[in-house]
Structure 1
């Protein structure tokens, strides 16, 4: 089958989210053809290049979310004078969208009919998408003065919640700009035949903007949508709005908008595959039907850790009494609490050592945090400078993967007696799964999907509690037999649940299941224009409600005030490669 893989800020770029998982999925399902539709988040990400793609990736189309430059976007669509009819339709759709978004900013549950509000949000999206397809992209229009005034009227309307009634011009400009970024897929030319319209299945690797092309492909061409989330994308939007220093009205508008968009994605998806129970709970709170949810744990490569896992603990790890932390150095990892906890561990076990193995810090905030942690370690453990990387001499060392002390990540796990995770925020804890592959006992904070991943194979303590963290570490350092039992159980659990093989096998079955329940939308022809025998699975002809005409569903979803445009005057907004 032909699968459209929809990504945001990751694959096929060298940096970003879910790139390794996407690459393993595509290579593992080599019998299928993949077309990648990627939204990039920064110019720096694009400049770093892309990963090598396997032969079954037949095409890549990209579009930036980080710029509004007309030359980069190849046109910004209608700008005021394109036509009075198009302008009226645009403002009507935007007014509908803005009113629904503002209604969702109140302190309690929306008092309006939730189904009615969801339908209005969907109709507004479809109306904007149809206008963009007929008249050109909407980037300029969604950032125009008319758009900002439309949003302002919705915020000032009688009955508008207090959360947005006091919105000032900077709040409105910020909210309009960020909502336009999320709606950027509306302005792309990805929805006709030869693009998403020709796919058998759209697989979005996240909710939000990544899944929006899938919603439109379903609307325009009846293509089924599968949504996979290994992190809580909606939560990430909430945190980003707070970190950006936006005012309270702008944050309220953006929270409502992203919540509405997430609910629409979950509502229209054929199937939703959260990576863990933590993500699943968020999806259910946003309205995802339980019948559509199926947990599929992310797959990780276990081969690189096989030798260490089979060997188990050796004399080097047991004798060293070493605590190991592995990850990206950033405030959410709470290394400050870890260092304070290790001070208590050191008091109880003077020979204990702590190795902090991290990837290179990126960005000013990460560099400042690393400097702060180094300074705290030097103050808590005077003597040899922990910043010099000479972990054989000091109680605490800061090292980088690929450096003198850590030529390979597997070497770090081999020398660690206990692997520690001290995060206050965590999605799927990759370092814990790696430690489990290596057969190492772990101590973790109870955040994100940690308890689900660990099961009963490690110790779990509350976050931001250095005393509890220290007590658990000391207990394992003093009990080698318990460490070995927990490590063996952890390895067995990881090999059963978290390998690439189980992940690929799950999606192989899910792809076939979704496509078999969807109607045949076109005839399959060979290069000579002749029908291809057995091109459609027999299951596609099984009668049932899923076999209803896609055009009927499309017509029912079309807003009465938007008008249906079918002239197909698409304008290229993404760069096809």
Structure 2
């Protein structure tokens, strides 16, 4: 099977989102052939290069999202009129209000079709004319957006958009729509794939939508985060004007809805992401939750060894930033010390950027204020009940060593997606106390204590309960490790996607002739279902090349002996 893996800001680059997950997926499914189609986010990412790729990755095609030069394409009169119509329909669907803002219920219900038709119309124009960069930056694009903002039934906030707002939104749309101008969708690209697998929603899934539109390639979308939620959080009140936030939020919501509507299967990484998908219109019947796979082997020595941790020590591990709410944790620990005078708290982690560094300084100052009689030597374990450390230091040389040092692992976050650190603690067989945010309850599943966020008293009571009960800690830790090994390993993740690949292809067989190295037709190279007359293949059993209306017939695809064996 040939898989077109679509990424944005991740694999195969050395640094980036979901890079490690994609690396494990590709290497774990070596029976398939992979083509990588990657959108990069920065010049530095491209300069850092790629990770070493396995031999069954046939090709890698990349394109930058962070920069784009004018393609120099000059549209004629008809092409300009066509662009104005398609782009006007697109921004019209973005600006159109819903509920009280909508002109009519029928118009609101028609928005997904209007947005999708306009999107694919622009893609077809780019394919015929050679690119959209100049057109998307043109005055015509700004004027079309302005008309849409002032059209009857438009969002109330859109009516307030001024020229700087229109220019900002136009620039954002040009960046987001750059995949429409790529040359990835022919028979020498995604058109030859059996399946497109987008490693995220949003821009990463856009090439998959176009491959589906032009060549009927089925699309699988995996979301371990929620791009739409991330967009809302990133574009907060201090980041942009209200009209800009409303219009860009509407665009991202329309794009997410189109992705969810067209994908054969969606694989959220947790129930939290699944609920977002359902609220954006995803069909529950096409959703399969697949938890991220993590390497359990690195934690095996700690998880399987007898518990030698300090029975009075609480451990927190992670990136230091405001969302982790270490302030509440410190206040909770002050309550713990009133009940358990020998208790210690070790905070292990590095700050995340300048904001994290400032937050770490605030936490250090608070710890000194809460424990004034023990403030000397506040950075060393044993001199102060609270210590701040980093992985690689003498007290925590490795990540497993950090988890092994304490009897109870604490998570105090107020915002959390999928709690990776919590699963690492479970692999180590540690009892945990966590706040009820994100996918925490789904991950814990009854093997740890969960308390409300921003509630230091509840956090303290749960920690004291476990510090006083070693048998309960041992029982919860063993149950947590068993649960993690069952649900959150690399092996279960790879097995799940292998089954999903086969499920999709069995319902969407590839319609093309496959040739061997000698140029002869390769027997059994396509799924057996494609030879059975029916709704997939029409009245004849003959296997035909996939064709695109208005375009040349797809050229034959040559297969390797590995593909022949897998197809048979």
Question: What's the TM-score, normalizing by structure 1?
Answer: 0.90
Q: Show the 5 A alignment for 1:81-480.
A: 81-104=74-97, 111-113=105-107, 115-242=109-236, 245-314=239-308, 316-318=309-311, 321-358=312-349, 360-382=350-372, 389-480=379-470
Note the alpha carbon deviations across 1:197-223, whole angstroms, 9 max, x for none: 111110001111010000000111111
Instruction: Report deviation, 1:375.
Output: 2.5
Structure 1 pair 106–257 and aligned structure 2 pair: CA distance change class (3 A): farther
Cα separation, 2, equivalents of 1:259 and 1:212: 13
Mark the CA change 1:108 to 1:39 in structure 2 (over 3 Å): closer, same or farther. same
Shift of 1:307: 1.4
2:71 aligned residue? 76
Q: Which residue of 2 aligns with 1:41?
A: 41
Structure 1 residues 499 and 552, CA gap change in structure 2 (3 angstroms): closer
CA contact (8 A) 1:104 1:256 kept: no
CA-to-aligned-CA distance 1:173-210 (integer Å, 9 cap, x gap)? 22222222221211111111121111111000111101
Deviations along 1:472-498, one digit per CA (max 9) or x if unpaired, are 111111111111111011111111111
CA distance in 2, matches of 1:460, 1:277: 17
Q: Which stretch of structure 1 is more off in the superposition, 168-177 or 418-427?
A: 168-177
- Residue by residue over 1:85-123, the C-alpha shift from the partner in whole angstroms, topping out at 9 and shown as x without a partner, is 111111110100011111146667883355522111111
Q: Judging changes above 3 Å, is the alpha-carbon distance between structure 1 residues 552 and 20 closer, same or farther for their aligned structure 2 residues?
A: closer
- Matched residues in 2 for 1:118 and 1:551: separation? 31
- Matched residue, 1:575: none
State whether residues 284 and 290 of structure 1, in contact with CA within 8 Å, keep that contact through their aligned partners in structure 2.
yes
Contact 2:101 2:153 in 1 (8 A): no
Quick one: distance in 2 between partners of 1:374 and 1:246? 33
SS of residue paired to 2:515? coil
> Contact 2:426–2:480 (CA<8 Å) still a contact in 1?
yes
Going from structure 1 to structure 2, the CA distance change for 1:336 and 1:238 (only over 3 Å counts) comes to same
Give the Cα–Cα distance (whole angstroms) in 1 for the partners of residues 437 and 132 of structure 2: 40
Give the aligned partner of residue 18 of structure 2.
Answer: 18
Distance 2:511 2:315 in 1: 54
1:551 & 1:103 partners in 2: Cα distance?
Answer: 40
Is residue 42–residue 64 contact of structure 2 (8 Å, CA) maintained in 1?
yes
- State the partner residue of 1:513: 503
Size of the aligned set, in residue pairs, is: 549
Residues 386 and 544 (structure 1 numbering): CA distance in 2 closer, same or farther, change over 3 Å?
farther
> Structure 1 regions of 5+ residues with no counterpart?
556-563, 569-577
Are the aligned partners of 1:77 and 1:141 in contact in 2 as well (CA < 8 Å)? Answer: no
Looking at structure 2, the residues matched to 140 and 322 of structure 1 have their Cα atoms a distance apart, in angstroms, of: 61
**Quick check: 1:387–1:398 contact (8 Å CA) kept in 2?**
no
**How far has the Cα of 1:63 moved from its partner?**
1.5
The residue that corresponds to 2:563 in the other structure is none
Do the aligned partners of residues 45 and 238 (structure 1) sit closer, same or farther apart at CA in structure 2, a change above 3 Å counting? same
Q: Which structure exhibits the higher relative contact order, with contacts defined as CA atoms closer than 8 Å and separated by 6 or more residues?
A: 1
Contact 1:326 1:431 survives alignment (8 Å): yes
Counterpart Cα distance in 1 of 2:371 and 2:378: 14
